[in-house]
Each structure stands twice: as structure tokens, then as C-alpha cells.
Amino acid sequence: MNSPMQLLCSTGTFSRFPDLTDYRAILTYGPELEVDGFELMFYPDWSTEIEQIATELLKSQLRFPAIHAEKGIVPALVSSRPGEREQGWQWMQASCQLGKSLGANLLIFHLWGLPDSDEKIEHNLRFLNDCMKIAEDFRLKLVVETIPCKYYDPLSNIYRAVEQEPDILVALDTEFLAMHNQLEAALEADWLWQHNRVCHIHIKDYDGNVYSTVNFRRYLHPGEGGINFPKFFDALKLHSFSGYISLETSVVNHDGTRDIHKLKKSLSKLQGMLHNS
């Protein structure tokens, strides 16, 4: 029995800000990967090249059903500096423009972020409706992600967003929820699964530590940490989840080389879990 879920690969698996953001890497590695499509990671230095990037990516005939908006949008919007706020709106427009040009339908969005994280979440929430409307203008649905928090927790913040905007969609991140000991709670939260609210899931494993001894961000592939992914996918099936499963675990090494073989192996493992009846 085939799963209704579709497997995506985040282009963030083989790119890295700020030193490895060239979109042409997608043209190099994308055709080698057996997936239903890609989640395109937007980078700020793309803002002036939207048309060229869209043209080249469309030529590849790869599919991009989801685009991950620039992560700094809301931190810029809540800034006290007018120039930073303007930059935030420009990033929002550029992310949406590229998504629309590529035929994406989802805009993965960070409602809070560094440096303030979710310290003033009520301030961040004031921008949610405007951002939803901008996404809608570009024929995209805005999807708020369960990213790490410093002051509250992902599910509490997402619940506040849902209370304010009942039509908001949600992207779960397995690693970030596990960091907050909320992965099981997310699977048991009835309000989260109503109206097909959860439509996108980022897959990364977690073992209690996100940094290596040299202060380098660690990314664990499924099976390398403590998350029970077969059980996780069983729970998704119980919820009749029919959205996107997006592998987001990086394969970029310290020196900038990419372990594409490992990426293919993880995608194959996920395919097996998705289609296991």
C-alpha cells in the first residue's frame, strides 16, 4: 500500500549559509536524488537574482512544492531600526516571489528567531496576519515551523498562532521538538491535527547535543539519534497525515565537502518507512 505522504529533500541538506549558497548546487545534485520534489532553502543573497534563479531551476524540471522563507524575516520585522524592518519585508517578498515562480504551494516560515528568539512572542504575532496575506498574494500558504525557543516552547507558541489565526498551517521539526521533549506531545495534541493543519514535517534525528566539540553544528540522520522514526511514522498514519516529509539533515562537512552518498542512503531509508504498510 503506497503512502499518501510525499518525500522531499531540503536543498539545505547540501548548502550552508553564508559560504555555500550557490543555487547551482541544486542543478548538480538534484537530478541524482530519488524524491518527489525539493524544499528550496532561500538565502538572503538571492534577493537580487530571483528571475535568473527561477529560470535556471525551472529548466531543470525538478519540482519545488515548498520554499523555506529567509529565516531572518520576523527578527528583522520586530527590529527597532527602520532599515532592518524594510529588509524584512524585502526578504518576505523575495521568498514569496521565488516560490511563486517555481510553482511552490507552501512557504515554510519562522515566526521567531535569533537574536531575541521568542522573548516577545506577542510582538512577533502582530506580523503573522500581514505575512499570511503576502504569501496568499503569491498563491502560497504560510506554514509556521516548530523551531527552538528560549523563553517558552514550540507547541505553546504554535498554539498561540493558531488561536490568533485558525487557518494557519504548521510544519513540525522532529529534532527541534525532541530538543524540547515535545515530540510525543505534538503527536498527541488533537488541536494540532485538526483541519489538516500539519502539512509539512522536517526530519532530523536528535541525541541531546546539537554541537560537536569544535562548536560545529551537528546534524543527525534518521537512525543516528534517539528518535524512534518507525513509531513516529506509525503515528502519522494514525493521523492520516498526507503532507510532505522533508529530509533536512545536512551532509555538508566542516571543509565544505558534501557526502551525497549519505544523503541518498537517508532518503532511501525514509522511502522505506513511508511505504511500509
- pLDDT of the residue at 209: 85
pLDDT at residue 4, as a whole number: 87
Percent of the chain with pLDDT over 70: 97
| Mean pLDDT (whole number) for 79-97 | 97
Reduced to 3 states (helix: H, G, I; strand: E, B; else coil), residue 272 is: helix
Structure confidence at residue 214 (pLDDT): 67
pLDDT mean across residues, the chain:
95
- Distance from CA of residue 94 to its chain's centroid? 17
Per-residue pLDDT band for 65 (boundaries 50, 70, 90) equals very high
Q: Is the pLDDT of residue 74 over 70?
A: yes
Alpha carbon distance 69, 108 (integer Å): 6
Q: Given this model, what pLDDT does residue 84 score?
A: 96
Dihedral of CA 188/192/195/196: which sign?
A: negative
pLDDT at res. 276: 79
When pLDDT is cut at 50, 70 and 90, the band that residue 277 belongs to is: very low
Q: What is the SS3 assignment for 222?
A: coil
pTM value surpassing 0.85: yes
Condensed to tens digits (0 to 9), the pLDDT of residues 103-162 reads 999 999 999 999 999 999 999 999 999 999 999 999 999 999 999 999 999 999 999 999
List the beta bridge partners of residue 9: 38, 247
Report the C-alpha gap between 111 and 126 in whole angstroms.
10
The helix (H) or strand (E) run that includes residue 174 is helix 174-179
Count of C-beta atoms within a 10 Å radius of residue 52: 11
| The three grid cell numbers given for residue 180, joined into one nine-digit string | 524540547
pLDDT at residue 1 greater than cutoff 50 = no
User: What is the fold, at CATH topology level, of the domain defined by 6-274?
Assistant: TIM Barrel (3.20.20)
pLDDT digits (tens, 9 = 90+) for 214-231: 677 889 999 999 999 999
3-state SS class at 70: coil
